[in-house]
Amino acid sequence: MYNKMRIFAHLKIAHTMIKRQQIKEVFKETAYGKEVRVMGWVKTFRNNQFIALNDGSCMANLQVVVDFANTDESLLKRITTGAAIAATGKIVESLGKGQSVEVKATEIEILGDSDPEKYPLQPKKHSLEFLREIAHLRFRTNTFNAVFKVRHALAFAVHQFFNDRGFVYMHTPVITASDAEGAGEMFKVTTLDLNETPRKEDGSIDFSQDFFGRATNLTVSGQLEGELAAMAFGQIYTFGPTFRAENSNTTRHLAEFWMIEPEVAFFDLEDNMQLAEDMLKYVISYALEHCKEELEFLNGRLLEEEKNKPQQERSELALIDKLSFCLGNDFVRLTYTEAIDILRNSKPNQKKQFKYLIEGWGADLQSEHERYLVEKHFKKPVILTDYPADIKAFYMRQNEVDSEGRRTVRAMDILFPGIGEIVGGSQREERLDRLTDRMKAMHIPEEELWWYLDTRRFGSAPHAGFGLGFERLVLFVTGMTNIRDVIAFPRFPKSAEF
RNA sequence: UCCUGAGUAGCUCAGCCGGUUAGAGCAUCUGACUGUUAAUCAGAGGGUCGCUGGUUCGAGCCCAGCCUCAGGAGCCA
């Protein structure tokens, strides 16, 4: 009697007293027969008997076995793809193949139903295009599970890298009044009634009546503010959202993206390049170490996809091999001028296969040229430096005019295979007169940037920094090909649904 | 914004030279089966052929405009 009661009591309290465990932890359990409680979402329910359950803690699904003969049919009907359930049961060695352990359920509770006629995710392969249309649900797929775990790891690794080196994380403003950075079209920020904007006598909008008393925009870069902080802390970085109102419709542009911008006092361009290369290698190796399961999945996904491509278009290395290769090799460093020489003598240029032929010095490099250098000629990441001054921003440090009268600046772009420009940076022009000369030539109003120029007036020092497009990094590491698939809710022209 | 291609069932796609009632696989539903791995087998339901207009006896198919998506280019990170 006593024993019976104990057993009975034990069963009674099963669903209230047993603490819910993450599936990731259940897989680590070694004691067969141990009672566990898990909660998650049903991926598939096979044979009226086998639930593939996922709670997001790991990629692998836990197999929960239902004793269908002794389970109410109305409950079985509610175990559908997408439903949230709680399951209590014993850990047992799996009789089937495909998993070593499974949970033999003694109790199943439906936490949230999922109407199978309406739930759009099916236990089958979906196109990324379709999943983009249901961005609110696509996290529940294997691919996006993996992508966003890797994204998280990379973000964490970025902070770890800089923190370990004594950098200060600066939060630069999202709303900015300066319209002079020249990094692209900006989104306007206003509280004015757009139907009745106050006007000045000359008919232009009177922004003095706006919230900030002046015209404001969303930031296109935290660099200028970052430089101010670097002139006190020595080394800082920013990591925040950045906005560009360009009408860009490509696989590598977003209207809202996350950018990492370190800025370091007393650094020259060489130091800057080394920092960027070290950082990229650090975060990639962090992902390789901490996202094995996810990267292996993405690696396999990519191999599957490659099977459908013609031989020519297939990549030479699988994803994980590509990442390892990237870690094991120094990035190639060369000047713009050297790159032009290589391109001018290249086969596609000689055979006139480039759409834009390289004829002389001074033109900006097109995508096809960057791709040739990175993917065909060097076959590894490339850092291009010392671009013509005319095609680069005003704040970049000017080199002395060379023997042929060419004006260059201490710029550097890091080009990655398949991605293109992943980092853009430079040593900054710290000499006030050279900087203001350049601003005049480029029609950038000095009055608006008086605070920026103050850094050159009071204790100016050599310094350098760069901007890293975080989503482009995630693209490279996950092997995804469209930037809209590596950010949760992508913003791009005609799209801000979620 | 430019170039190219696409838009047909919930998803992936086929649909011939313009011709009768627009098809398949998967998903869903019903039934069978019950150690399955995107289970399997049998059956059923499911369509504003992107939208608007035009040509034609007749348009999913031809023409024009628009919308959306994909890939490439430009802008860039």
Angstrom distance, A66 CA to B40 C1': 19
Angstrom distance, A51 CA to B29 C1': 20
Per-residue pLDDT tens digits of chain A, which is 498 residues long:
334 334 444 444 444 578 999 999 999 988 899 999 999 999 999 999 999 999 999 999 999 999 998 899 899 999 999 999 999 999 999 988 888 899 999 999 999 999 999 999 988 889 999 999 999 999 999 999 999 999 999 999 999 999 999 999 999 999 998 765 666 789 999 999 999 999 999 999 999 999 999 999 999 999 999 999 999 999 999 999 999 999 999 999 999 999 999 999 999 999 999 999 999 999 999 999 999 999 999 999 998 888 777 676 778 889 999 999 999 999 999 999 999 999 999 999 999 999 999 988 998 999 999 999 999 999 999 999 999 999 999 999 999 999 999 999 999 999 999 899 999 999 999 999 999 999 999 988 899 899 999 999 999 999 999 999 999 999 999 999 999 999 999 999 988 888
Number of other residues whose CB lies within 10 A of the CB of residue A85:
25
CA-only gyration radius of chain A, Å: 28
How far is CA A153 from each of CA A175, A188, A477, rounded to the nearest angstrom?
A: 28, 33, 11
- In the prediction, which pLDDT does A307 show? 78
- In the prediction, which pLDDT does A181 show? 61
> Does the structure's ipTM exceed the value 0.90?
yes
pTM for this entry: 0.93
With CA atoms as reference, report the closest residue to A262 among A291, A289, A280, A238. A238
Angstrom distance, A114 CA to B11 C1': 18
Q: How many Å apart are CA A108 and CA A37, to the nearest integer? A: 10
HSE-CB for A496 with a 13 A CA cutoff: 6
Q: In what order do the strands lie in the sheet with A188-189?
A: A175-176, A216-218, A188-189
Strand B, CB < 7 A, residues 167-186 of A: 183-184
Angstrom distance, A412 CA to B10 C1': 49
- In the prediction, which pLDDT does A182 show? 63
- In the prediction, which pLDDT does A8 show? 42
Q: How many Å apart are CA A328 and CA A342, to the nearest integer? A: 24
Tokens of A49: 């008997």
- Strand, helix or coil at A145? helix
Answer yes or no: is A44 CB < 7 A from strand B.
Answer: yes
Classify the C-alpha dihedral A242-A244-A245-A249 as positive or negative. negative
Tokens of A448: 């608006």
Answer yes or no: is A307 CB < 7 A from strand B.
Answer: no
Strand B, CB < 7 A, residues 188-247 of A: 221, 244, 246-247
Nucleotides of B under 7 A from a protein CB: 1-2, 10-13, 26-29, 33-39, 67-77
Phi–psi pair at A177, nearest 5 degrees: -95, -20
Write A28-35 long-range contacts (CB < 8 A, 24+).
A29/A91, A29/A101, A31/A91, A32/A90, A32/A91, A32/A92, A32/A93, A32/A101, A33/A90, A33/A91, A33/A92, A34/A90, A34/A91, A35/A88, A35/A89, A35/A90, A35/A91
Answer yes or no: is A46 CB < 7 A from strand B.
Answer: yes
Angstrom distance, A172 CA to B57 C1': 70
- Strand, helix or coil at A208? helix
Q: How far apart are the first and last CA of chain A?
A: 59
Q: Which residue is nearest to nucleotide B37 (CA to C1')?
A: A98
Using the CA of A50, give the nucleotide whose C1' is nearest: B36
Using the CA of A125, give the nucleotide whose C1' is nearest: B38
Angstrom distance, A159 CA to B29 C1': 51
Residue with tokens 């199978």: A116
Strand B, CB < 7 A, residues 240-259 of A: 244, 246-255, 257, 259
- In the prediction, which pLDDT does A16 show? 56
Answer yes or no: is A103 CB < 7 A from strand B.
Answer: no
HSE-CB for A402 with a 13 A CA cutoff: 11
- In the prediction, which pLDDT does A315 show? 80
- In the prediction, which pLDDT does A1 show? 36
Answer yes or no: is A394 CB < 7 A from strand B.
Answer: no
Q: Where are the beta strands (DSSP E) in A348-451?
A: 382-388, 408-416, 420-427
